[in-house]
Amino acid sequence: MKKEYMAFLCIVAFLCIAALLLTGCARTPEADIVTRKNTEALTDKAAGGTENRKSLAENRKQTPEHYSWKYNNDAETLQISADADILLPECEAVPMYRLSSGGFTQEQVTGLYDYLFQGRETYRVEEGGLTKSECEKQIVRLRKQLEELEQQEQGDGQGDDDWFPDDEREYLQGILDERLAMYGDLPEVSQDKKIAVDSTLMEQTGIDEREDGRTYEETTHSLECQTDEGDSLYVESGSVDTSEFSLLSYQRPGRYTYSSGIAVPVDPGNADEKKSENLPCTYQDARALADGAVQAAGITAEITQVELLEGLAENGEDGVSSERSGMYSAFQFQYTRTFEGISVATTASEYVNEEEFSLMWPYEKLRIVVSEVGIQEMEWEAPVSVVETVEKDVPVLSFADAAAVFEELTPLSYEGKIEKLSQGETDASMDIHVDAVRLELMRVKNDGSKREGLYVPAWVFYGTESSTVYTSDSGSAEETWSETEPTPWIVLAVNAVDGTVIDQVEGY
Cα separation, 484 vs 468, in Å, equals 9
pLDDT score, position 18: 39
Compute the mean pLDDT over every residue in the chain, rounded to the nearest whole number. 87
pLDDT score, position 507: 74
User: Is residue 508 a part of any domain in this protein?
Assistant: no
Handedness of CA 178, 182, 188, 193 (dihedral sign): negative
Band (pLDDT 50/70/90 cuts) for residue 485 is very high
Q: Which of 129-138, 146-155, 285-294, 368-377 has the lowest mean pLDDT?
A: 146-155
One-character DSSP codes across 357-424? TPPP-PPPEEEEEEETTEEEEEEEES--EEEEEEESS--EE-HHHHHHHHHHHHHHHHHHHHHHH--T
Q: How many domains does the chain have?
A: 3
Cα separation, 471 vs 40, in Å, equals 47
Name residue 501's beta-bridge partners: 494
- Please give the residue that has the higher pLDDT: either 9 or 195: 195
Q: Which amino acid is at 378?
A: M
User: Is residue 152 a part of any domain in this protein?
Assistant: yes
CA dihedral 440, 366, 338, 330 (to 10 degrees): 100
User: Is residue 504 a part of any domain in this protein?
Assistant: no
pLDDT score, position 267: 94
Task: Quote the radius of gyration of the chain (alpha carbons, Å).
Answer: 26
Q: Peptide bond before 265: cis, by omega within 30 degrees of 0?
A: no
User: Is residue 501 a part of any domain in this protein?
Assistant: no
User: Is residue 434 a part of any domain in this protein?
Assistant: yes
Question: Using an 8 Å Cβ cutoff, are 347 and 443 in contact?
Answer: no
Residues 119 and 15 in one domain: no
Tens of pLDDT, residue by residue over 4-40, are 434 444 444 434 433 333 333 333 334 345 455 678 8
Residues 276 and 331 in one domain: yes
What percentage of the chain carries pLDDT values higher than 70? 86
Coil, strand or helix at 271: helix
pLDDT score, position 60: 95
- Please give the residue that has the higher pLDDT: either 333 or 506: 333
Tens of pLDDT, residue by residue over 263-318, are 999 999 999 999 999 899 999 999 999 999 999 999 999 999 999 999 998 765 55
Q: Which domain holds residue 240?
A: 106-126+194-388
Residues 294 and 399 in one domain: no
Coil, strand or helix at 504: coil
Residues 216 and 361 in one domain: yes
Residues 255 and 272 in one domain: yes
Q: Which of 169-178, 206-215, 408-417 has the lowest mean pLDDT?
A: 206-215
User: Is residue 506 a part of any domain in this protein?
Assistant: no
Residues 111 and 232 in one domain: yes
Residues 93 and 65 in one domain: yes
Tens of pLDDT, residue by residue over 35-84, are 556 788 888 888 776 668 999 999 999 999 999 999 999 999 999 999 99
pLDDT score, position 5: 38
Residues 162 and 240 in one domain: no
Other residues' Cβ atoms within 10 Å of the Cβ of residue 200: 12
User: Is residue 39 a part of any domain in this protein?
Assistant: yes
pLDDT score, position 7: 43
Tens of pLDDT, residue by residue over 336-394, are 999 999 999 999 988 776 665 567 899 999 999 999 999 999 999 999 999 999 999 99
Burial of 364 (0-12, 13-18, 19+ CB in 10 A): buried
- Please give the residue that has the higher pLDDT: either 335 or 277: 335
Residues 117 and 217 in one domain: yes
pLDDT score, position 2: 38
Residues 268 and 367 in one domain: yes
Task: From 353, 388, 423, give the residue that closes a domain.
Answer: 388
Residues 324 and 215 in one domain: yes
pLDDT over 50 at 417, yes or no? yes
pLDDT score, position 497: 95
User: Is residue 500 a part of any domain in this protein?
Assistant: no
Q: Which of 4-13, 181-190, 361-370, 457-466 has the lowest mean pLDDT?
A: 4-13
pLDDT score, position 255: 94
Residues 373 and 400 in one domain: no
